């Protein structure tokens, strides 16, 4: 159990809750048995025989039963033969439960559960057996659900006496909270989740246990927020006529209402003596980079430096290019022709030449460079800052907490932190996963943005739709626009799924059925140049190319010298080419919902309307097609993030795994239990404000220690 299911103590076992509950099934007459359904029958044994096979090594027990309306065969194999052979003698009356199957054109039950009935057993006993709720536990090959149930039964003891076994449990909920919310006691909840008599028992138990998880987690986050608020930081107030004012004066457009509001929230945080911890959510193209740049300029104005951390070299280079273009001569501080209030904006990535790298490091340590944009190369020990005041992290989900922590430790005092994401996060997830960050949302697009039409292209069912997709690409190119074609794989080997940290989505059951490797950039580009796009200028872009080659392709695409860019998800984040109007995503079912939404945001960034075509070979009615239909139906990232989360589940909300494979949440569902989480956050904040050390709540402290084992404690500390 310890090795395979991570269950080490009796407490672990009791908190390993059933995934669902089965009923043995309605009481059925043998003449009416439905195929493939779980049934319970009451019948008498007419005949029982043991057959041998495999030269006497294998044994099979066949039992024929009758209830007067018909006959049915039961079969037992191997070691499962011994007990029924002695108990199911002809003439024995019993209840049998199992799933009806067909063998040799006869209906049968294989290895059914059964319970023999004495002469006095009446209809009530039969009814209770048929409708008893049977817990089914999350299990593995080495430890079946029924073995877990046996272990739980051993711990709980005989029915009706569970209170004794559960007496010493640590209850994390303060009594006043439990009573005020009308929640069950912990022993009662555990008894009802493992041994429910009715469905109402299960609901009551789950309500209580959800509160445990939500409350303890929110207390951990409330303490984290409180500790952060105690840290010192240098207030950074921009000079009234400094760099920021000069930048604003040269902007060719006005900021949106949302950009102004969020900027005010950020500048208010930067002016305090405690480090800002803010999450900036904004749809693809809502102008987050502009908001972050203004914050960085404000910090430079106040004598500090700002660092922007990007997840890929392509994105770091893109940010550097767009920021220096937006700033113009203000980005040439100390250089000939540079503005007098200007500052240097340097790029630092792993693949830079030694001389350029040396100069960038020198500009940082002397304070000559007020802004640095880079990849994780910024985190290396040899990178020293003159006075780091603000860290901006782009696309939070691509960065480990350790990396953020390493960069934050480079300030003389903890720098302010701004985390940006274009993956919209539902409010409940923001309250749990990012519960220690204040949240700002940019929800309006800058003027001049065009709507994006999205369509699913079922390549297998309707091949002419795919042919039409390539015609649409040609039409857009003829109209002076450009196109992206995105594939899940680069192409050298089948095992290589894309570029990004997430690559393509995990293969679904339908993918397994397909058994076809995902389409690759290299192959698709070749087919297009020889086929439907033969006289267009087609180039490829993927993460394995040398950085100079990637940058050169992106530069030429941005300059309009390339008509169609065939790429992996390397273009998913931050690439900005306003003239790109159409995107074709091959094998779209192999990407996650949020990822498709991110990719789609690369088109429609200029005056031309955007078009996104989701190509798939998945059959109609499959979950993959339903997912693509949802993406095509809405441009609302928050709505899509809900769908995405419902499919992936929450992952380990406190730990590094955000993939949904293993979760510290057992009964709490971040999407469905919004009310519980919001209420638990309020209660937790009040408890921590009144008693930060939790001196009056020893049981809650114990539960916190169990939740925040060493690894998670560190995770939160680095948050």
pLDDT of residue 404: 61
How far is Cα of residue 40 from the mean position of the Cα atoms in its chain? 41
pLDDT of residue 684: 94
For the cut 60, the answer to whether the pLDDT of residue 661 exceeds it is no
| Choice among 257-266, 415-424, 634-643, 650-659 with the minimum mean pLDDT | 650-659
Most trustworthy range by pLDDT among 277-281, 323-327, 402-406, 470-474: 470-474
pLDDT of residue 641: 73
Q: How far apart are CA 375 and CA 313, in angstroms?
A: 6
Tokens coding 628: 């693509």
Report which of residues 655 and 166 the model is more confident about: 166
Q: How far apart are CA 568 and CA 573, in angstroms?
A: 11
pLDDT of residue 336: 46
| Choice among 54-63, 397-406, 529-538, 614-623 with the minimum mean pLDDT | 397-406
pLDDT of residue 597: 85
Q: Band the pLDDT of 437: cuts 50, 70, 90.
A: confident
Q: How far apart are CA 229 and CA 436, in angstroms?
A: 10
Other beta carbons within 10 Å of 90: 11
For the cut 50, the answer to whether the pLDDT of residue 38 exceeds it is yes
Q: Is the dihedral of CA 697, 703, 705, 711 positive or negative?
A: negative
For the cut 50, the answer to whether the pLDDT of residue 168 exceeds it is yes
For the cut 70, the answer to whether the pLDDT of residue 397 exceeds it is no
Q: How far apart are CA 73 and CA 32, in angstroms?
A: 14
For the cut 50, the answer to whether the pLDDT of residue 508 exceeds it is no
User: In 3D, which of 317, 613, 676 has the Cα closest to residue 456?
Assistant: 613
Share of the chain above pLDDT 70, in %: 82
Tokens coding 580: 């790109």
* Tens-digit pLDDT profile for residues 544-583: 888 788 888 988 998 999 999 999 887 765 567 889 999 9
- At 389 the three-state DSSP class reads strand
Report which of residues 550 and 161 the model is more confident about: 550
Residue 307, C-beta contacts closer than 8 angstroms, at least 6 positions apart: 371, 372, 373, 374, 378, 385, 388, 390, 391, 392, 407, 410
pLDDT of residue 228: 80
pLDDT of residue 370: 94
Q: How far apart are CA 415 and CA 434, in angstroms?
A: 18
Q: How far apart are CA 133 and CA 128, in angstroms?
A: 10
Angle at 25 between CA 22 and CA 31, to 5 degrees: 155
Per-residue pLDDT, averaged over 56-72, amounts to 89
Q: How far apart are CA 98 and CA 107, in angstroms?
A: 12
* Tens-digit pLDDT profile for residues 278-306: 989 887 667 888 999 999 999 999 999 99
Tokens coding 185: 């006691």
- Helix/strand number for the chain, H first, E second: 26, 21
Q: Is 2 exposed, middle or buried (0-12, 13-18, 19+ CB in 10 A)?
A: exposed
pLDDT of residue 308: 93
Phi, psi (deg, nearest 5) at residue 402: -60, -40
User: In 3D, which of 30, 27, 31 has the Cα closest to residue 40?
Assistant: 27
Per-residue pLDDT, averaged over 314-318, amounts to 84
pLDDT of residue 401: 57
- At 364 the three-state DSSP class reads helix
| Choice among 281-290, 463-472, 677-686 with the minimum mean pLDDT | 281-290
pLDDT of residue 152: 87
Q: How far apart are CA 39 and CA 98, in angstroms?
A: 6
Q: β-strands 133-136, 20-23: how paired?
A: antiparallel
User: In 3D, which of 683, 668, 588 has the Cα closest to residue 629?
Assistant: 588
Kindly provide the b/e burial profile for residues 547-584, where b requires at least 16 CB atoms within 10 angstroms of the residue's own CB.
beebbebbeebbeeebbbbbbbbbbbbbbbbbbbbbbb
For the cut 90, the answer to whether the pLDDT of residue 36 exceeds it is no
Q: Please measure the distance between the N-terminal and C-terminal CA atoms of the chain and give it in whole angstroms.
A: 32
* Tens-digit pLDDT profile for residues 104-155: 888 899 988 888 877 555 666 667 776 778 787 876 666 666 678 888 888 8
Tokens coding 245: 């004012």
Q: How far apart are CA 425 and CA 419, in angstroms?
A: 13
Share of the chain above pLDDT 90, in %: 33
Tokens coding 113: 């559960």
* Tens-digit pLDDT profile for residues 347-359: 998 888 889 999 9
Within 16-132, strands assigned E span 20-23, 38-53, 58-66, 71-77, 93-103, 106-110, 113-116
Q: Which residue has 């007419």 as its token pair?
A: 46
Query: What's the DSSP call for residue 601?
Result: T
CA of 32: how far to CAs of 26, 58, 239, 265, 386, in Å?
A: 11, 32, 85, 69, 83
Q: Which ranges constitute the DSSP H helices of 285-391?
A: 288-301, 313-327, 354-366
Q: Which residue has 């020293």 as its token pair?
A: 384
Tokens coding 542: 């993927």
Report which of residues 712 and 611 the model is more confident about: 611
């Amino acid at each position: 159990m310890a090795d395979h299911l991570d269950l080490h103590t009796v407490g672990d076992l009791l908190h390993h809750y059933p995934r669902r509950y089965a009923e043995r099934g309605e009481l059925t007459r043998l003449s009416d048995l439905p195929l493939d359904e779980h049934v319970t029958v009451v019948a008498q044994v007419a005949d029982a025989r043991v057959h041998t096979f495999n030269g006497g090594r294998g044994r099979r027990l066949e039992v024929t039963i009758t209830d007067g309306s018909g006959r049915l065969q039961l079969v037992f194999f191997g070691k499962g033969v011994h007990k029924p052979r002695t108990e199911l003698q002809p003439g024995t009356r019993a209840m049998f439960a199992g799933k009806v199957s067909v063998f040799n054109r006869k209906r049968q039950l294989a290895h059914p559960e059964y319970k023999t009935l004495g002469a006095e057993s009446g209809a009530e006993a039969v009814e209770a057996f048929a409708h008893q709720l049977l817990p089914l536990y999350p299990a593995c090959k080495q430890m079946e659900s029924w073995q877990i149930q046996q272990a739980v039964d051993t711990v709980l003891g005989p029915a009706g006496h569970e209170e004794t076994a559960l007496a010493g449990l640590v209850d994390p909920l303060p009594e006043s909270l439990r009573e005020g919310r009308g929640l069950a006691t912990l022993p009662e909840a555990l008894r009802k989740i493992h041994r429910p008599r009715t469905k109402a028992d299960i609901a009551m138990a789950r309500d209580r246990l959800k509160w445990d998880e939500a409350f303890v987690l929110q207390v951990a986050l409330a303490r984290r927020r409180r500790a952060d608020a105690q840290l010192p930081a240098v207030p950074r107030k921009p000079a009234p006529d400094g760099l920021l004012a000069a930048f604003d004066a040269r902007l060719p457009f006005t900021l949106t209402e949302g950009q102004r509001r969020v900027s005010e929230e950020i500048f208010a945080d930067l002016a305090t003596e405690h480090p800002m911890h803010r999450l900036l959510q904004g749809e693809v193209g809502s102008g987050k980079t502009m908001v972050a740049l203004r914050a960085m300029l404000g910090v430079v104005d106040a004598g500090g430096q700002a660092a922007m951390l990007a997840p890929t070299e392509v994105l770091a280079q893109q940010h550097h290019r767009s920021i220096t273009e937006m700033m113009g001569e203000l980005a040439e501080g100390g250089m000939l022709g540079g503005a007098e209030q200007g500052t240097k904006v340097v790029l630092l990535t792993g693949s830079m030449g030694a001389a350029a790298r040396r100069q960038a490091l020198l500009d940082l340590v002397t304070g000559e460079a007020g802004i640095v944009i880079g990849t994780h190369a910024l985190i290396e020990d040899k990178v020293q800052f003159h006075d780091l005041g603000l860290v901006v992290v782009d696309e939070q989900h691509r960065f480990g907490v350790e990396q953020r922590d390493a960069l934050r430790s480079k300030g003389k005092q903890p720098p302010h932190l701004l985390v940006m994401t274009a993956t919209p996060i539902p409010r409940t997830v923001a309250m749990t996963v990012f519960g220690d960050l204040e949240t700002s949302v940019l929800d309006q697009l800058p003027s001049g943005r065009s709507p994006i039409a999205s369509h699913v292209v079922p390549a297998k069912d309707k091949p002419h739709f795919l042919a039409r997709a390539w015609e649409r690409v040609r039409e857009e190119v003829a109209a002076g626009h450009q196109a992206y074609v995105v594939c899940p794989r680069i192409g050298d080997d089948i095992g290589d799924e894309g570029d990004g940290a997430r690559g393509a989505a995990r293969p679904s059951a339908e993918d397994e059925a397909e058994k076809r490797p995902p389409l690759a950039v290299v192959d698709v580009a070749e087919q297009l140049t020889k086929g439907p796009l033969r006289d267009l200028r087609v180039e490829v872009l993927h993460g394995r190319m040398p950085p100079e080659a990637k940058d050169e392709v992106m530069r030429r695409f941005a300059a309009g010298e390339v008509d169609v860019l065939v790429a992996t998800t390397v273009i998913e984040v931050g690439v900005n080419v306003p003239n790109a109007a159409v995107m074709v995503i091959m094998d779209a079912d192999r990407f996650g919902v949020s990822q498709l939404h991110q990719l789609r945001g690369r088109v429609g960034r200029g005056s031309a309307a955007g078009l996104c075509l989701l190509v798939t070979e998945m059959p109609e009615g499959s979950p993959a097609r339903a997912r693509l239909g949802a993406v095509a139906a809405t441009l609302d990232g928050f709505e899509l993030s809900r769908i995405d989360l419902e499919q992936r589940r929450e992952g380990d909300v406190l730990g590094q795994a955000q993939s949904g494979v293993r979760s510290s949440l057992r009964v709490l569902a971040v999407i469905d239990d919004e009310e519980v989480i919001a209420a638990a956050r309020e209660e937790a904040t009040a408890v921590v404000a009144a008693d930060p050390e939790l001196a009056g709540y020893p049981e809650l402290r114990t539960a916190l220690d169990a939740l925040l084992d060493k690894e998670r404690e560190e995770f939160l500390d680095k948050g």
